[in-house]
């Protein structure tokens, strides 16, 4: 099931990309020695709910390798009509590689694609619905596995489609998704199980934990202890 992005980037401040290692010692429920997990962000709510936090995993998947399709023996999921549609209705930007070099990219946010799928123009609606179908039929298997790992640890995640990207220079098309802890309780459960190895980042998460109600932390720790005892 696909969920519209809730624009969490606008409501939360990211305090750094974390490189986590969920160890077997910390999580006896795991059936393997551990799991190295890159690209995880910890987010902290900006204003109304400063105690709220979330862990988010960002993943991008190629739908069309463009110029590299033949070399990679990749079967593209999109065609020229899809690419033209993203170019016509997406947001064009320039991304800097260095001071001297940049490249062009067209981004179509999920909210934009959702709106176009309800257009009064039947051709636009059809094209948008086709792209939504392509995304739905091509889930990110790594992200799905990571979400299942979290469920095995009692951590609920929700998946959002963020954006579609088209890169004219390489003709590549990709889709970005993220999975985010569903509730503050899930973030509290995550933190002690998989603190970042980096001391600075670990301190940031610990500082956030210190803002949580002691009753909530105790309740969740008891839940974890009961689950481990049952196992």
Query: Residue 207's pLDDT is what?
Result: 86
Q: Is the pLDDT of residue 3 over 50?
A: no
Residue 88 vs residue 35, higher pLDDT: 88
Sign of CA dihedral 65, 70, 73, 79: positive
Q: Which residues pair with 12 in a beta bridge?
A: 45
SS3 of residue 48 by DSSP:
coil
Average pLDDT over residues 76-100: 91
Query: Residue 46's pLDDT is what?
Result: 52
Sign of CA dihedral 127, 5, 151, 140: positive
Instruction: Name the most confidently modeled range: 62-66, 153-157, 193-197, 219-223.
Output: 62-66
Q: Percent of the chain, pLDDT > 90?
A: 52
Q: Is the pLDDT of residue 125 over 50?
A: yes
Q: Quick one: pLDDT band at residue 44, thresholds 50, 70, 90?
A: low
Please, what is the end-to-end C-alpha distance for the chain in angstroms?
30
Element at 172 (helix H, strand E): strand 172-181
Q: Is the pLDDT of residue 68 over 70?
A: yes
Question: Dihedrals φ, ψ of 143, to 5°?
Answer: -65, -40
Average pLDDT over residues 2-31: 42
Write the pLDDT tens digit of every residue in 167-181.
999 999 999 999 999
Dihedral over alpha carbons 139, 145, 149, 150 (to 10 degrees): -20
Mean pLDDT value across the chain: 81
Q: Measuring CA to CA, how many Å separate 159 from each of 35, 46, 169?
A: 20, 21, 30
| Contact call for residues 59 and 140 (beta carbons, < 8 A) | yes
């Amino acid at each position: 099931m696909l969920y519209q992005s809730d624009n969490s980037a606008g409501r939360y401040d990211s305090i750094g990309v974390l490189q986590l290692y969920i160890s077997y010692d910390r999580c006896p429920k795991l059936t393997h020695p551990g799991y190295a997990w890159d690209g995880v962000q910890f987010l902290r709510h900006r204003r109304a709910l400063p105690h709220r936090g979330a862990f988010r995993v960002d993943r991008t998947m190629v739908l069309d390798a463009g110029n590299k399709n033949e070399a990679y023996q990749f079967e593209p999921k999109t065609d020229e009509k899809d690419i033209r549609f993203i170019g016509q209705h997406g947001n064009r930007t320039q991304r800097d590689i260095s001071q001297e070099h940049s490249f062009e990219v067209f981004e179509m946010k999920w909210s934009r694609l959702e709106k176009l799928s309800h257009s009064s123009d039947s051709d636009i609606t059809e094209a948008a619905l086709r792209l939504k179908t392509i995304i739905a039929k091509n889930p990110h298997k790594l992200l799905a596995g990571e979400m299942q790992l979290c469920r095995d640890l009692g951590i609920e995640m929700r998946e959002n489609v963020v954006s579609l990207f088209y890169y004219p220079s390489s003709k590549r098309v990709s889709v970005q998704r993220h999975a985010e802890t569903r509730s503050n309780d899930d973030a509290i459960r995550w933190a002690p199980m998989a603190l970042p190895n980096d001391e600075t980042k670990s301190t940031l998460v610990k500082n956030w934990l210190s803002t949580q109600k002691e009753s909530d932390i105790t309740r969740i720790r008891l839940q974890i202890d009961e689950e481990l005892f049952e196992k």
